[in-house]
């Protein structure tokens, strides 16, 4: 069967990458295959997860490049080398320029740990998002999967899932619950939806 070739871009622990690998193995993702994992951080545990699943790995250390343009050029070369149809940002902590995102319209998706448009945009990433939600005092948060354009966390929303906040929550406990209840569920689902559309387009 024709499948969309997927690059997963990561920076850290890679639990969302793991959810994608598991979804591929269990058949939740049927129309896509993870063809490469790319990290900007050579120490990311996500790279070990890729290795354990026999997925090719690449490291593009942002710090090594003295410009955003050179960093993105290296990323683009890898996207082309692996013949990628869909780029998934799964805990990728680098902002991509318009130059990059406009090359791949509706072909880059991102998972964000809040209900966009709350607690998103520049400066809102990882634990900071949950700290902000608790500080504000919202009673419901969640996760969003969206297409990526030049506005950080500003692209079209694909899926969202709400998660209740408990009185005893810390940023860490909330982060874990948002991942377990929302992110690890909606990211694989969205990847399958977009992969299906890509394959449908490819086979016409
Ligand atoms: C996840 O919560 C993801 O939504 C968030 O970082 C975490 C990465 O965890 N991403 C962002 O905040 C991007 N704005 P993981 O490496 O275990 O998947």
Instruction: Give the per-residue pLDDT at 204.
Output: 61
In this structure, is the dihedral angle defined by the CA atoms of residues 176, 181, 182 and 188, taken in order, positive or negative?
positive
Instruction: Give the per-residue pLDDT at 66.
Output: 86
Contact between residue 69 and residue 99 where contact means Cβ atoms under 8 Å apart = yes
Q: Is 146 a catalytic residue?
A: no
Cα 49 → chain centroid: 15
Residue 15 Cα: closest atom of ligand 1: 17
| Torsion angle, alpha carbons of 73, 19, 120, 101, to 10 | 20
Instruction: Give the per-residue pLDDT at 101.
Output: 98
Pocket of ligand 1, beta carbon within 6 A: 12-16, 46, 90-91, 111-113, 125-126, 129, 179, 183
Domains and CATH numbers, the chain: 4-203 (3.40.50.170)
Q: Which residues pair with 157 in a beta bridge?
A: 146
Angle of the 127-136 helix axis to the 171-178 helix axis, nearest 10 = 110
How many angstroms does the Cα of residue 199 sit away from the middle of ligand 1?
Answer: 27
In the predicted model, residues of the chain with pLDDT beneath 50 are none
Instruction: Give the per-residue pLDDT at 93.
Output: 94
């Amino acid at each position: 069967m024709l499948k969309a070739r997927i690059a997963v871009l990561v920076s850290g622990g890679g639990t969302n990458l793991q959810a994608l690998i598991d979804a591929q193995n269990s058949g939740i993702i049927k129309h896509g295959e993870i063809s490469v994992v790319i990290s900007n951080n050579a120490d990311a545990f996500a790279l070990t997860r890729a290795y354990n699943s026999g997925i090719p790995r690449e490291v593009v250390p942002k710090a090594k490049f003295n410009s955003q343009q050179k960093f993105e050029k290296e990323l683009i070369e890898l996207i082309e080398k692996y013949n990628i149809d869909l780029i998934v940002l799964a805990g990728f902590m680098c902002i991509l320029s318009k130059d990059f995102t406009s090359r791949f319209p509706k072909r880059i998706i991102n998972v964000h740990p809040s209900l966009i448009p709350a607690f998103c945009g520049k400066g809102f990433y990882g634990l900071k998002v949950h700290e902000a939600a608790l500080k504000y005092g919202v009673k419901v948060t969640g996760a969003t999967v969206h297409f990526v354009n030049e506005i950080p966390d500003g692209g079209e929303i694909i899926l969202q899932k709400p998660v209740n906040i408990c009185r005893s929550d810390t940023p860490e406990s909330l982060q874990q619950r948002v991942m377990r209840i929302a992110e690890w569920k909606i990211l694989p689902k969205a990847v399958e939806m977009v992969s299906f559309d890509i394959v449908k387009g490819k086979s016409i």
